[in-house]
Copies of this chain bind each other. A is one copy, B any other.
Amino acid sequence: MADFVESREWYLAAYCPEGVPTSDHLKLRTVTLSLSVDSIPVNHLAVETLLLSVDPYLRGRITGTLEGLFISQYQLNQVITAFAVVRVVRSNDSKYSEGDILLNSNASVAEYSIVPSSIITRKIDTSNGISLSDYLGSLGIEVLADPKPGSNVFISAASGAVGMNAGQLAKIRGCRVIGSTGSDDKVKLIKEEFGYDDGFNYNTETDFDAALSKSYFPDGIDVYLDNVGGKMLEAVLNHVNKHARIPLCGMISQYNKVWTEREGVRNLLNMVGKQVRMEGFMLESYWHRFGDFAKDMERYIQEGKVKSKNKINVGIEGFLDSLNSLFSSSNIGKVVVQVKA
């Protein structure tokens, strides 16, 4: 490894309060980084980025306001950060050696970076570890809804990173599971690959109310894992059963809007009559369950009970497009940017 490297990195040029982020907001630049031994402080590592996890919450880090996901904002002109799998190229921490593959939950969206070793989440065996965050996303359905065999479960963004795992977990628990997603191909996918009982394309079947009540939930909805918010959440509330549980994992349909322009949910009163519980879920509160949950998931994967699908976009220059692909129905499964093989 040379002492100096050229490293491309994405930085915040301007906040984006509404709309899809563009190259006005996020820009790519090349910096020169010194990786010489004496430019790495004690308990720091020089790492190269292998995979970047492209997650909807990143949208919340460039709004310039603290609401909604209440997530810390990127700083203007600074490199942005994301969940990533990185490989150590130089180490100034005796616990890590060159070649170690690590999970970094706050990695620079850059080809190379120097990081305090304290921010490393864990060592992993393979670069597949990036999916661990998504298993955890799907943990929401277990801890907040705890669905029982036979429960009628609905999951939106069903073919996405969280949705595909959550749906398969609910199937393992013996539930009847229906998903909504954005294309006919994806509907096919969730049924054939992920074992959903049924699903619909919300871009063509646009009367959600009718779809949910008649076609998909003649017996009502017991659990709804909400990934999209807005009109879909409202439609669900018209068909909930008594004591239904609604883990709120995210509301991607609303992320590109300022809050006063978001779709208001008008029928929360149904939550009173049906004694519904709705609860926001954030990974950060469940790290203590990481270990056990990851073990379960690994077993399910070995047993073929949980499958996953990644959309791997090659090249750090595609990070912005990858991020924006989350806000259309163009991707499939977990979106990842492969920076280095």
Contact = CB atoms under 8 A, between A and B. Distances in A.
Interface of A: 60, 67-71, 229, 233-234, 238, 248-251, 254, 259-282, 285
Given A67-B273, A70-B273, A70-B274, 9 more contacts: A67-B270, A249-B272, A259-B267, A262-B267, A263-B264, A265-B266, A271-B278, A272-B280, A276-B280
Number of copies of this chain that the complex holds:
2
22 contacts: A67-B269, A67-B273, A69-B269, A69-B272, A70-B274, A248-B268, A250-B272, A260-B266, A262-B267, A264-B266, A265-B265, A270-B280, A271-B280, A272-B280, A272-B281, A275-B281, A275-B282, A275-B285, A276-B279, A276-B280, A277-B280, A278-B279
Contact of A271 (B263, B273, B275, B279): B279
Contacts of A262: 266-267, 269
A315 to B, nearest CB: 31
A229 B70 contact: no
A261 B69 CA distance: 28
A275 B279 contact: yes
A278 B237 CA distance: 13
A269 B68 contact: yes
A46 to B, nearest CB: 33
Contacts of A260: 266
Given A267-B262, A269-B229, A277 B277 contact: yes
Contact of A280 (B238, B263, B273, B281): B273
B269 A274 contact: no
A280 B273 CA distance: 7
Contacts of A277: 277-280
Contacts of A264: 234, 263-266
A68 B270 contact: yes
A266 B276 contact: no
Contacts of A69: 269, 272-273
